[in-house]
Structure 1
Amino acid sequence: MQVVVLGGGVIGVCTAYYLAREGVDVIVLEAGPDVATGTSYANAGQISPGYSTPWAAPGMSLKALKWMFQKHAPLSARWDGSLFQLRWMLQWFSNCNESSYARNKERMMRISEYSRDCLQQLRAETGISYEHRCAGTLQLFREQAQVDAAQKDIRVLHECGVPFELLDRDGVIRAEPGLEGASALIAGGLRLPKDETGDCRLFTQELSRMARALGVRFQFGMRVEKLLNVGDKITGVQYEKGGKRGVLSADGYVMAMGVDSRQALLDVGVDVPVYPVKGYSLTMPVFDPSRSPISTVLDETYKIAITRFDRRIRVGGMAELKGVDRTLLSQRRETLEMVVKQLFPGGDLSKAEFWTGLRPMTPDGPPIVGETFFQNLYLNIGHGTLGWTMACGSGRYVKDLLLGRETQIRQEGLSMRRYSRNVI
């Protein structure tokens, strides 16, 4: 059996690896010059199943309006000229209620918890190294109102059996001693001790080497132009490379092209509500281990994560809804620098690498993983800010579906069935 995986980010590489382990002949098509050159390149670095939380949350619509007038807002929006953006935002706001939030959070946590287990198993079996740490995530609250609002998340954590610690200020400092010198007010925190961290790009590069050893072929510089079909079967992928066009055919196809997936799927009548949500990050050297985070500190006020690698610190976050735009805005860098200075002062930010990427986000939160009305086309897209968290589980889940095997987690709510009666 031969399968073409479209996309060489962390999602596509994980999918290819798990398929190859089962003896499948896999070809990965990637537009970039290597794996993990897009959204997987410099994300926040956190593997946070316990913090798998939909952006579509109760009260978010009012918060979004308020943020429009703030300089350092975690969310901003500008019309990109498309009706799709407006439709996506309406779907997003329609999910900003208690019942939808709880349902979507459970779906996200279901695949995230499974993914963490898959990652741990993979690490034990292969010894893969990617500067990982297993020291948890600390969600930092600057105001008591944030501590109080965390109760709805705690209820879902209880229901899903996820360990947590609700901390006061002293407890926060014990968990992350580097915060003792913070100038920002600290009201408390929610610590998720089972969460992990790691360099997503490094992981993807290492896993791609293991995939090659299993026979996976990576073809770079391959721009997918469209999918070809006859009836309910995909017959090939039309691509362009170096000015030349060609068609590649296989038995099965997995779409894992992130924000580029929607346009490619529209050509065969599959309309996925996946919108590019722009985020930013800074990567800088560790300046003083005693005044740096141990793992990940997530600032709830600005939705910015500060993550420790071996010799580097990654500061990532924010969300812009403005279409496909990869412009680096100095104002966003100012926000990232402001937060890290307030929480972990003393670093030399002049040496930081400033980066931006486009997260493929669904309006309700959970990714779209599973079958389509084409008998040989599978989706592994829409992971939003949690692609690194969900990568291994999503890849293994799609592998099981494609091979006709029973999945290790419930399928309910993970495919496109939740959007349309006409699509599985």
Structure 2
Amino acid sequence: MHIVVLGAGVVGTTTAWYLQRQGHQVTVVDRQSQAGLETSYANGGQVSVSHAEPWANPSAPLKVLKWLFRADAPLLFRPRWDPAQWRWALAFLRECTSARAAHNIRQMVNLGTYSRAQLQSLRDDLGLEYDALTKGILHFYTNREEFEGALEPTRIMQGLGCDRQVIDADRAIELEPALKPIRDRIAGATYTSEDESGDARKFTQQLAQKCAEAGVSFHYGTDILGFERAGDRILGVHTLRDGVHSTLRGDAYVLSLGSFSAPLARSIGLTLDIYPAKGYSITVPVNNPDAAFNVSLTDDEYKLVYSRLGDRLRVAGTAELNGYSRELNQTRCRAIVRRTAEIMPEAGHWDQAQFWTGLRPATPSNVPYIGKSHFANLYLNTGHGTLGWTHSCGSAAALADIVDGRRPEVDFSFSGL
């Protein structure tokens, strides 16, 4: 079967790999010149099963209200005259109950555990090199209330098989000596030894090369304009490349366009609750190797993640619900630099920070859409939010099974829109 995958980010590229491995002819379409140049380009770099507490939880509504007028807030909601934004916000509020949060944690832990194993196997099989570190992820808390609020989600994750250990400040410093400057401020921490980190862009581009060597065709520099449809089937995808309009046809199609999946889906009457959550990152050279972290870190209070990428430090996070603009907000950029320099002043050349922003495709529940749509030959693999790389290999392997009529190995509520 000829399958057209829309999107060459980490999710679209892994989807292409698993589909071709099962014998399909695969074509990937993306507007960029290479794979992994949008949301996968400079993300936080974590493969984090332990990052499974959804934004939508019982404490979220009060926090969002408190942060509403703070330009440097970890989660910033900027109201717009945008029906999609308000529909998303209302759905988000519905997900903020304890029962829904627990359900969504289960979904993300199950998918994340399966996906991490798939990624490890893929890395070993293909010899992929992408500054991977397999030293775990340490969540640290400098606010007692935030730490105590993390204990119940941690208990739920532990019950699902995620080995997220609750530890004290001394153990946190033992695991990551770079946190010594804030030893007296650490209220508590958790540690998941099986989680990982690395450069998602390098991973995506190396895997795209492996895909091409295996026969996958990539149509880069190609804008996707819309679908041609008849009844419950997609007949083709209208594209524009170098000023030339054409229609790309296949037997089946996979929508993996991140935040841009929702507007394209709306054009054929398919409503996806995906809204762009603009995230920021800084990348800086290591200054003092002895003061720089090696264990990947998560600063939950400020919604920041830290990954060591060879001789570079990547710090990423925050979320801004403000439409599709990718303009850098300098206040938010400076806030990341200020927090990281405060925690580890000697670790990096903080004055040399390279800033980046990307649109993470967030669903109200943080659970992605994976599965078959109500169109007979259109499949969904999108809406992964902050966990695109974490969930990419598992999502792709599961979707390939669904396309071939098999039940995926992972316990997950697959979409059937």
Q: Same fold (TM over 0.5)?
A: yes
Tell me how far apart the structure 2 counterparts of residues 304 and 121 of structure 1 sit (CA, whole Å).
28
Q: Spell out, residue by residue over 1:8-65, the C-alpha distance to the aligned partner (whole angstroms, 9 max, x if none).
A: 1000000001111122111000011111110000000001012122110111000101
Give structure 1 regions of 4+ aligned residues with deviation exceeding 4 angstroms: none
TM-fit CA distance, 1:182: 3.2
Amino acid at match of 1:205: Q
Amino acid at match of 2:182: A
Q: How many residues align?
A: 416
TM-fit CA distance, 1:343: 1.4
8 Å CA contact retained: 2:178, 2:293: yes
1:132 aligns with 2:132: yes
- Stretch deviating more after TM superposition (59-68 or 71-80): 71-80
Question: Counterpart in 2 of 1:101?
Answer: 101
Question: Counterpart in 1 of 2:217?
Answer: 217
Q: Spell out, residue by residue over 1:362-395, the C-alpha distance to the aligned partner (whole angstroms, 9 max, x if none).
A: 0111000000111111000000000010011111
Tell me how far apart the structure 1 counterparts of residues 360 and 390 of structure 2 sit (CA, whole Å).
13
State the SS of the aligned residue for 1:18: helix
Question: Counterpart in 1 of 2:162?
Answer: 162
State the SS of the aligned residue for 1:49: coil
Question: Counterpart in 1 of 2:392?
Answer: 391
8 Å CA contact retained: 1:137, 1:195: yes
8 Å CA contact retained: 2:286, 2:349: no
TM-fit CA distance, 1:404: 1.3
State the SS of the aligned residue for 1:357: strand
Tell me how far apart the structure 1 counterparts of residues 335 and 367 of structure 2 sit (CA, whole Å).
27
Question: Counterpart in 1 of 2:207?
Answer: 207
Q: Mind listing any 5+ residue stretches in structure 2 that lack a counterpart?
A: none
Amino acid at match of 2:390: T
8 Å CA contact retained: 1:72, 1:302: no
Tell me how far apart the structure 2 counterparts of residues 406 and 97 of structure 1 sit (CA, whole Å).
30
Amino acid at match of 1:214: A
Question: Counterpart in 1 of 2:292?
Answer: 292
Question: Counterpart in 2 of 1:260?
Answer: 260
Tell me how far apart the structure 1 counterparts of residues 218 and 110 of structure 2 sit (CA, whole Å).
30
State the SS of the aligned residue for 2:302: coil
1:91 aligns with 2:94: no
Tell me how far apart the structure 1 counterparts of residues 300 and 184 of structure 2 sit (CA, whole Å).
12
Question: Counterpart in 2 of 1:352?
Answer: 353
8 Å CA contact retained: 2:278, 2:320: yes
Q: Spell out, residue by residue over 1:95-153, the C-alpha distance to the aligned partner (whole angstroms, 9 max, x if none).
A: 11100000011111111111001001111211111110111111111122222212211
Identity of aligned pairs, percent? Answer: 37
Tell me how far apart the structure 2 counterparts of residues 371 and 218 of structure 1 sit (CA, whole Å).
23
Tell me how far apart the structure 2 counterparts of residues 82 and 55 of structure 1 sit (CA, whole Å).
21
Question: Counterpart in 2 of 1:382?
Answer: 383
1:22-421 residue pairs with structure 2 within 5 A? 22-182=22-182, 185-346=185-346, 347-412=348-413, 414-415=414-415, 417=416
TM-fit CA distance, 1:79: 2.1
Tell me how far apart the structure 2 counterparts of residues 165 and 290 of structure 1 sit (CA, whole Å).
26
After superposition, the CA RMSD in angstroms is 1.2
Q: Spell out, residue by residue over 1:150-180, the C-alpha distance to the aligned partner (whole angstroms, 9 max, x if none).
A: 2211221222011122111111111110111
Amino acid at match of 1:388: W
State the SS of the aligned residue for 2:34: coil
TM-score, scaled relative to structure 2: 0.97
State the SS of the aligned residue for 1:16: helix
Tell me how far apart the structure 2 counterparts of residues 411 and 141 of structure 1 sit (CA, whole Å).
30
8 Å CA contact retained: 2:225, 2:240: yes
Amino acid at match of 2:180: E
- Stretch deviating more after TM superposition (109-118 or 151-160): 151-160
Tell me how far apart the structure 2 counterparts of residues 342 and 185 of structure 1 sit (CA, whole Å).
12
State the SS of the aligned residue for 1:106: helix
TM-fit CA distance, 1:295: 2.2
Question: Counterpart in 2 of 1:420?
Answer: none
Amino acid at match of 2:324: V
Tell me how far apart the structure 2 counterparts of residues 265 and 145 of structure 1 sit (CA, whole Å).
41
TM-fit CA distance, 1:183: 7.9
State the SS of the aligned residue for 1:182: helix
- Stretch deviating more after TM superposition (166-175 or 143-152): 143-152
TM-fit CA distance, 1:71: 4.8
TM-fit CA distance, 1:411: 4.1
Tell me how far apart the structure 2 counterparts of residues 105 and 376 of structure 1 sit (CA, whole Å).
30
Tell me how far apart the structure 1 counterparts of residues 249 and 394 of structure 2 sit (CA, whole Å).
26
Amino acid at match of 1:119: L
Amino acid at match of 2:59: G
| Residues 143/133 of structure 1: CA separation in 2 closer, same or farther (3 Å cut) | same
TM-score, scaled relative to structure 1: 0.96
State the SS of the aligned residue for 2:334: helix
Question: Counterpart in 2 of 1:2?
Answer: 2
State the SS of the aligned residue for 2:180: helix
Tell me how far apart the structure 2 counterparts of residues 93 and 381 of structure 1 sit (CA, whole Å).
21
Amino acid at match of 1:406: R
Q: Spell out, residue by residue over 1:401-422, the C-alpha distance to the aligned partner (whole angstroms, 9 max, x if none).
A: 111122111342x31x4xxxxx
Amino acid at match of 2:27: I
Tell me how far apart the structure 2 counterparts of residues 198 and 8 of structure 1 sit (CA, whole Å).
19
TM-fit CA distance, 1:184: 7.6
Amino acid at match of 1:29: V
Q: Mind listing any 5+ residue stretches in structure 1 that lack a counterpart?
A: 418-422
8 Å CA contact retained: 1:183, 1:343: no
Q: Spell out, residue by residue over 1:276-304, the C-alpha distance to the aligned partner (whole angstroms, 9 max, x if none).
A: 00000000111122111112111111111
Tell me how far apart the structure 1 counterparts of residues 28 and 184 of structure 2 sit (CA, whole Å).
46
